[in-house]
Amino acid sequence: MTLIINAQHATAVRDRLVDPFGRAIDYVRVSVTDRCDLRCVYCMAERQTFLPKAELLTIEELDRLCTAFVDLGARRIRLTGGEPLVRRGFMDLVQGVGRHLRSGRLEELTLTTNGTLLADHAEGLFRASVRRVNVSIDTLNPDAYRRITRGGDLGKVLAGIEAARAIGLRIKLNAVALRDDNADELPDMIRWAHERDIDISLIETMPLGEIEADRMDQYLSLAEVRRGLEQTWTLTPVAHRTGGPSRYVRVAETGGLLGFITPLSHMFCESCNRVRVTCTGRLYLCLGQDHAVDLRDALRDHPDDDRPLRAAIRSGIGLKPEGHDFRIERRGAAPAVARPMSMTGG
């Protein structure tokens, strides 16, 4: 028995994913749909064109995909969109992937959601062994929220957050810093979150996909935001990590954690442990690059054998670049990457 266990461990170690720069890849973000029930101004065009449903991976294929990554050493999986909770059958996928949590092979299964449907699904997520959810919310002002999301109802999001907390889910908020839309509100959002024992991360807007607005007008450097916060608050760096790119500080005056995700003002690529898979099965090695490998053929051409899928994943990891090429340098510039954020997932 000991020999069998040791052999299994040796195989798992050998199969773990390491990119050309020696970074262990143990975190995968899987988009289950490019559709969303909101139209955030920094994320997508108002009249966004979505993929035909026939092009999306099925729930069963998404389960196989996640399992293949677990077989290759993934310890964290995040399910994203678009908005993942609008995908029919999504809770079946969560239940299926959750078996790897219960077996101990997976350390964490999370999702990123806009929160509009969270109240309806919080209990089911908890039953499926999900313990943490990221909620994207950029303002606590109902009118500003309606404007940023092009018609969204802030009340539904706040109700979803409270329902999730009541059931025992840990919530983390993500807020994109937007110069003209929420810059003045960020301290109040941080305070509101910390009063409820909720961590919050601020994110710089990223040049992904064509939108109506000019990102030069939207972009707000978090270095600038941090300098402003330090005029009234004491920010102490901490070693806390959740597997993603946030770099955290403790706010002495509120007692809570505040993260900064800074793809433009301060690159974080040197420690990147992540890859992303779209809802069509394209493995993107970097959010800010176009290096990709199509995994859908491996899934569909070999429905009863996942060895070709694992081989395709390993091959893709060999293409992972050292870092991204995000820039917002001049008005009217084309986005760094043509695909919209809703395609790759948050």
Please check if 36 is assigned to a binding site: yes
One-letter identity of residue 26: D
Please check if 40 is assigned to a binding site: yes
Please check if 269 is assigned to a binding site: yes
Q: Which residues of 82-97 are buried (b: 16+ CB within 10 A; e: fewer)?
A: bbbbbbeebbebbebb
Distance CA 194, CA 196 (A): 5
Please check if 146 is assigned to a binding site: no
Please check if 66 is assigned to a binding site: no
Please check if 112 is assigned to a binding site: yes
Please check if 286 is assigned to a binding site: yes
- 199-204 vs 257-261, strand pairing mode: parallel
Q: Which residues of 292-327 are buried (b: 16+ CB within 10 A; e: fewer)?
A: bbebbebbeeeeeebeebbebbeebbeebbeebebe
Please check if 276 is assigned to a binding site: yes
Beta strand spans in 146-261 (E):
170-177, 199-204, 235-237, 247-251, 257-261
One-letter identity of residue 242: T
Please check if 307 is assigned to a binding site: no
CB contact set of 207 (below 8 Å; sequence gap of 6+): 215, 326, 327, 328, 333, 335, 336, 337
Please check if 165 is assigned to a binding site: no
Please check if 274 is assigned to a binding site: yes
Query: Residues forming the annotated binding site for S-adenosyl-L-methionine?
Result: 42, 82, 136, 206
Query: Residues forming the annotated binding site?
Result: 29, 36, 40, 42-43, 78, 82, 112, 136, 172, 206, 269, 272, 274-276, 286
Query: Residues forming the annotated binding site for [4Fe-4S] cluster?
Result: 36, 40, 43, 269, 272, 286
Query: Residues forming the annotated binding site for GTP?
Result: 29, 78, 112, 172, 274-276
